[in-house]
Amino acid sequence: MKRFAQLIKQLDSTNKTNIKVDALASYFENAPDTDKVWTIAILSHRRPPRPINTTLLRTWASELANIPLWLFEESYHIVGDLAETIALVAPPSEKSTEKSLTQYLEEIIALKQKDDAQKKEYLLENLKKLEYYERFVFTKLITGSFRIGVSQKLMTRALAKATQIDEDLLAYKLMGNWDPNTVSFHDLILEENASDFLSKPYPFYLAYAIEDEVSDLGVVSDWSIEHKWDGIRAQVIIRNGEIFIWSRGEELVTDKYPEFHQLVEILPDGTVIDGEILPYSEGKIGTFNDLQTRIGRKTVSKALLAKTPVILKAYDLLEWEGKDIRSTPFSQRRGLLEKLYKVTGHSKHNSTSSKNIPLHLSENMYFTSWEEVAEERTKSREKQSEGLMIKRKDATYQVGRKKGDWWKWKVDPLTIDAVLTYAMRGHGRRSNLFTDYTFALWDTAQSELVTFAKAYSGLTDTEFRKVDAWIKKNTVERFGPVRSVTPQLVFEIAFEGIALSKRHKSGIATRFPRILRWRQDKKIEEANTLDDLKAMIPSVTQ
Amino acid sequence: MKTPLLVFNENGIYCEAAGVYLDPWRPVDKAIITHGHADHSRWGHKKYITHVSNVPIIKHRLGDINVSGRTYGETFTINNVTFSFHPAGHIIGSSQIRVEYKGEVWVFTGDYKLEDDGISVPYEPVKCNTFITECTFGLPAFKWIPQSEVFSDINSWWAANRAEGKTSVLFGYSLGKAQRLLKYLDTSIGEIYTHGAIENMTNVIRPMISFPDTTLITRDTTKEMLRGNIVIAPPSAHGSTWIRKMVPYVTASASGWMTFRGARRRRAIDKGFVLSDHCDWQGLLTAIQETGAEKIISTHGYTDIFSKYLRELGFDARTEKTQYEGELAELETKKENEEVL
């Protein structure tokens, strides 16, 4: 544990990516193999299940620190991270321990089965013999989340540096399901012909947003244009008579979408399709809000299946006849995909004429000028898309977010002026600063403010500091970490999509709301109304 | 009910019996001042009374003002109210103000810390009935480690940066923290360079305290001259064009706020050293116990939380709103620091 805690301390002592990579690489060169595997697992979000719930954790930590629970809670709201709070309030360590990271993780996994008294004893005993950073790491492992400013990409880069293995290949090896408890460093990383590639998805290729003029991309005929669908990015894998569906978050979601299980019968073995899972009924694509009802469910009821069926909007083919074809040009992969689409029983290149097979083709469009592309983009909202994807025809399918060949050109967001009503302290690098805001709009009578969205991003650090100072001076009431503030500040809120919703107090759900700018020139009387917001909902009949 | 000896009004902490203010935030006729930081000694009062060590500091900041200096323990009387200054250990000259009238004693701490920093006269507990205390770090998450350990870490950090051919840039408030850092830097590692705000303030204090030699960074200072050496700069210099010419450099901040990982990451500083001129949680509780006071008024910091805890311990504790900022100026970029220097 000392070595791992030292690594985290080193990573914490710099803001420079290269130094972080060096520190990690050096760790990967020197740490015991089992610790390495666990470190890779932790930094790629494969953590053991939480053995102690946070209520017990807080209660026991406050006992250890000899402070009342409410004072612990207040400290937690301000520190903004539970593990950090526990590490800070715990008394200085009395002893020390040489237990390894692997040992600790094995104990934490075993702890889940123990009774509360045993859990408490284990927690307190270990907190007493760990130094500050070890306490922090230990508690982080118990609380589950391990976001410490090191991305999976950065970790993979360091691993590539330490092992001299190609970074993209490593990214592929680390995809999918593997168990840090049983897999060896050799099998996971070093083995050249890893046998268990059966269920593994390929790393997703991600697009960059167009920043400047779209015409800077050059000749329009070099590019293939399609709509940017607003669902769940997914890979559908058919291998050895089995189907695996992976979301972009590397979650295996096969069981959540039973509609697709019939594809095993239809698609040939050795096929991997990249596409978007979209809600689709009565010949129309639904909103992301419709899809929300499917995302959270582990098991899907018949009623839900009937109410919100989904399809896969296919846009790329990554594996064909058992061969990885990612290095062939997009136009060729696309040709194979269209061929495949035909054999599934679709007669035409027309995604709306399916025979109940939940596989549709994302239409590729070709234009003769960027003006035509821009014109198509304006139709995005009515087609339930977020904008356009612009893909270079001869591009390979790359790993992760890479500039150059895939671009997203989203529609301009919808915007509305809203009043700041509540604020909450942020987490991580925004801890101890009020950065999480709730916004409200006027009701029809313009007499009351109705909450409509929360937003956490969009201001600069300087603006956040200013608003934070204002909030501290203009607090009306405190509810734990939340403060209600005098309605006085107006912000322009941008969002991507909008739909009616029964789950929201305002009756309206907005997609990805964020702060566009602080309207210091506006008084609250000039903020918009809920009716203004409702008027932005696209009419149901298209 | 009689008027309390000290009341909090729109101008500051007011002693009606004497007609004077303690650390007022708006211009008044007569002000008794705890120390030289900008949120405690403000511009525009007709007369200032403060500890002698503060006189040159406040004059440096505020120019030609009417100020008289007193020594620790020396009493002076205004309209039968007796005042005296007592060491607060916060920065050089920092004082608690003791106010006595008809047998009742109030103490206002200004800012203070219990650890002897070797620069300011160490904090002395003063018995009183009512104790007006800051609580900038009034949360159990704040626990200082002895400064000898912090300075050993700072010097190791500097030496490691030097070995890599990098310039170390250490941020600290130009009055107080900067001198505390200066005092304990190991000059066998390299040379100490300073930002103008810090050089000027340090020169004001040099006649009272000895410090290692420093070199002011000017237009003629090259990055080759700085390489491997350390630069002491105010927090507001972070991210400025002034600092960019020092490449390659590594940044660190020394502040109580560096306790929070988020505070360091938010400011995009490489390294955080936890070093404060205020009391930590236990320091506040110890100080309160030692005064023997029954009534505790918290002025700035996590006042509501701290007062609530004190009430649970059995004190008559409450919060008063003031415009003091504590160590906030070190966490967030404050321009005031530069404007006055």
A76, A431, A435: which to substitute to probe chain B, counting the most B Cβ within 10 Å? A431
DSSP structural state of residue B208: T
**B244 and B315, same domain (yes or no):** no
On whether the CB atoms of residues B321 and B132 are closer than 8 A, the answer is no
Residue B139 to residue A75, Cβ atoms within 8 A: yes
A131 touches chain B (CB under 8 A): no
In a domain, B22, yes or no: yes
The pLDDT assigned to A271 comes to: 95
Q: How far apart are CA A41 and CA B177, in angstroms?
A: 42
Same-domain pairing of B15 and B136: yes
Within-domain flag for B91: yes
Q: What share of chain B is helix, strand, coil (3-state, %, to 5)?
A: 30, 25, 50
> Do B266 and A75 lie within an 8 Å CB cutoff?
no
pLDDT bin (cut points 50, 70, 90) of residue B341 is very low
Given a cut of 80, is residue A298 above it in pLDDT?
A: no
Residues B269 and B281 in one domain: no
Using CB atoms, which residue from A68, A429, A461 is nearest to B262? A429
pLDDT at A345: 64
For range A298-307, the mean pLDDT: 85
pLDDT at A352: 46
Cα Rg for chain A, rounded, in angstroms? 26
The domain A205-409: what is its CATH number?
Answer: 3.30.470.30
Distance of CA A155 to the CA centre of its chain: 17
Residue B296: what pLDDT? 98
Q: How far is CA A180 from CA A184, A279, A540, B3, in A?
A: 8, 35, 49, 70
Chain B residues within 8 A (CB-CB) of chain A? 139-143, 250, 257, 259-263, 265-266, 268-271, 302, 304-305, 308-309, 312, 332-333
Kindly state whether residue B340 falls inside one of the protein's structural domains. Answer: no
Expressed in angstroms, the distance from the first to the final Cα of chain A is 60
Are B336 and B38 spatial neighbours (Cβ–Cβ below 8 Å)? Answer: yes
Q: Which residue has the higher pLDDT, A353 or A309?
A: A309
CA nearest A15 in B: which residue?
Answer: B270
Of B142, B270, B312, nearest to A15 by CB-CB distance is: B270
Alpha-carbon distance B248 to nearest alpha carbon in chain A (angstroms): 12
Contacts of A88 in chain B (CB under 8 A): 140-143, 259
Residues sharing a CB contact under 8 Å with residue B301, sequence separation 6 or more, in sequence order: B134, B135, B136, B137, B138, B278, B326
- Can you give the pLDDT at residue A349? 44
pLDDT of B114 reads 97
The nearest alpha carbon in chain A to B261 belongs to A429
Q: Is A80 part of the contact surface with chain B (CB cutoff 8 Å)? A: yes
Query: A65 CA to chain B: closest CA distance, Å?
Result: 8
Distances (CA, A) of A306 to A302, A360, A541, B126: 6, 19, 21, 76
- Count the Cβ atoms, other than its own, within 10 Å of residue B147: 18
At residue A480 the predicted structure's pLDDT band, cuts being 50, 70 and 90, is low
Of residues B336 and B68, which shows the higher confidence score? B68
Residue A433, chain B, CB below 8 Å: the answer is yes
Q: Which residues of A touch B262 (CB under 8 A)?
A: 79-81, 426-433
Instruction: Please tell me the distance in Å from B96's CA to the nearest CA on chain A.
Output: 27
Q: What is the mean pLDDT of residues A113-136?
A: 95
Cα distances from B72 to residues A154, A329, B83, in angstroms, run 57, 82, 11
Residues B175 and B263 in one domain: yes
pLDDT at A347 over 50: no
Instruction: Give me the pLDDT at residue A77, please.
Output: 86
Chain A positions touching B269 (Cβ under 8 A) are 15
Higher pLDDT, A58 or B239: A58
- Tell me the β-bridge partners of B77: B82
Residue to substitute from A12, A150, A457, interface B, most B β-carbons within 10 A: A12
Report DSSP letters for A449-509, one per residue.
EEEEEEE--SS-HHHHHHHHHHHHHSEEEEETTEEEE-S--EEEEEESEEEE-SSSTTSEE
Which of B140, B260, B271 is the closest to A71 by Cβ? B140
The domain of B293 spans: 7-141+277-331
Final residue of a domain: which of B273, B294, B310?
B273
> How many domains in chain B?
2
CB contacts of A13 in chain B (<8 Å) are 270-271
Phi-psi sector, A503: left (phi>0), alpha (psi -120 to 50), beta = alpha
Confidence bin at A355 (pLDDT 50/70/90): low
Asked if residue B20 and residue B136 are part of one domain, the reply reads: yes
DSSP category for residue A19? H
Q: Where are the domains of chain A?
A: 2-143, 205-409, 414-534
Chain A's closest residue to B328, CA to CA, is A469
Half-sphere exposure of A517 (CA within 13 A, CB side): 5
Q: Has residue B331 got a pLDDT over 80? A: no
Chain A positions in Cβ-Cβ contact with residue B311 (cut-off 8 Å): none
Residue B2 lies in a domain: no
Residues of B in contact with A428 (CB under 8 A): 262, 265
**Beta pairing class for A310-320 and A271-281:** antiparallel
Contact criterion met (CB below 8 Å) for A394 and A329: yes
Instruction: Give the distance from residue A375's alpha carbon to the nearest chain B alpha carbon, in angstroms.
Output: 41
- Looking at CA atoms only, how far is residue B266 from chain A in angstroms? 5
Category of B297 on φ-ψ map: left (φ > 0), alpha (ψ -120 to 50) or beta:
beta
Cβ pair B141:A67 closer than 8 A: no
Q: What percent of chain B has pLDDT over 70?
A: 95
- Rounded to a whole number, what is the largest CA-CA distance in chain A? 74
User: Quick one: which of A315, A313, A183, A320 has its CA closest to A239?
Assistant: A320
Mean pLDDT over residues A147-151, rounded?
Answer: 81
Q: How confident is the model at residue A296 (pLDDT cuts 50, 70, 90)?
A: confident
Residue A319 predicted with pLDDT over 80: yes
Q: What is the pLDDT of residue B172?
A: 93
Residue A542 pLDDT more than 70?
Answer: no
ipTM for the predicted complex: 0.91
- Rounded to an integer, what distance in angstroms lies between the CA atom of residue B30 and that of residue B323? 18
**Are B110 and B13 contained in the same domain?**
yes
Task: Please tell me which of the candidates B260, B271, B333 has its beta carbon nearest to residue A79.
Answer: B260
CATH number at residue B253: 3.40.50.10890
Among chain B residues, CA nearest to A72: B140
* A321 close to A273: Cβ distance less than 8 angstroms: no
Averaged pLDDT for residues B194-221: 96
Please state the φ and ψ torsions of residue A419, each to the nearest 5 degrees: -105, 135
| CA distances from residue A293 to A257, A304, A305 in whole angstroms, order as listed | 12, 8, 10
Chain B hits for A75, CB-CB cut-off 8 Å, are 139-141
A62 touches chain B (CB under 8 A): no
In a shared domain, residues B76 and B135:
yes
CB atoms within 10 A of CB A414: 18
Q: Which residues of A touch B250 (CB under 8 A)?
A: 14
> Largest alpha-carbon pair distance within chain B?
69
State which residue of chain A sits closest to B248, comparing Cα positions: A16
Report d(CA B173, CA A95) in Å as an integer.
37
The one-letter amino acid code at A65 reads: A
pLDDT band at B129 (very low <50, low <70, confident <90, very high): very high
- Rounded to the nearest integer, the mean pLDDT of chain A is 89
pLDDT value, residue A16: 86
Q: Would the pLDDT of B333 be above 80?
A: no
| Minimal Cβ distance to A13: which of B139, B143, B271 | B271
pLDDT above 90 (res A482): no
Subunit contact A89:B140, Cβ cutoff 8 A: yes
Q: B238: which chain A residues are within 8 Å (Cβ-Cβ)? A: none
Rounded (10°) CA dihedral B16, B21, B27, B30: 90
Going by the DSSP 8-state scheme, the letter that residue A112 receives in this structure is T
Given a cut of 50, whether residue A302 has pLDDT beyond it is yes
The pLDDT tens digits of the residues spanning A508-534 come to 989 889 999 999 999 999 999 999 999
pTM, full prediction: 0.80
Of B236, B277, B285, B287, the residue nearest B257 (C-alpha)? B277
Cβ-nearest to A67 among B140, B270, B302:
B140
Mean pLDDT over the full length of chain B: 92
Cβ count within 10 A of residue B35: 29
How much is the average pLDDT of A297-320? 90
- pLDDT attached to residue B1: 63
Determine the CATH number of domain A2-143.
1.10.3260.10
Residue A348 has pLDDT above 80, yes or no: no
What pLDDT, on a 0 to 100 scale, did the predictor assign at position A481?
A: 73
How confident is the model over A29-80, as pLDDT tens digits?
Answer: 999 999 999 999 999 888 888 999 999 999 999 999 999 999 999 999 888 8
* B341 lies in some domain: no
The pLDDT of residue A273 is above 70: yes
Contact predicate A202/A172, CB 8 Å: yes
CATH 2.40.50.140 fits A414-534, yes or no: yes
Interval A245-262 mean pLDDT: 88
Say if B119 falls within a structural domain: yes
CA dist A293 and A487 (Å) reads 33
What pLDDT is attached to residue B339? 28
Q: What is the mean pLDDT of residues A151-176?
A: 89
Residue A432 has pLDDT above 80, yes or no: no
* Per-residue pLDDT tens digits for B95-106: 999 999 999 999
Could you tell me if A480 lies within 8 Å of chain B, comparing CB atoms? no
Same-domain status, B26 and B113: yes
Interchain contact A81–B (C-beta under 8 A):
yes
**Optimal mutation site among B154, B266, B321, B325, interface A, most CBs of chain A within 10 A:** B266
Alpha helices in A130-275 (DSSP H): 132-143, 152-163, 167-173, 185, 263-266
User: To 10 degrees, the CA torsion angle through B7, B10, B13, B14?
Assistant: -60
Residue B77 — very low, low, confident or very high, per pLDDT cuts 50/70/90? very high
Contact between A444 and A437 under an 8 Å Cβ cutoff? The reply is no
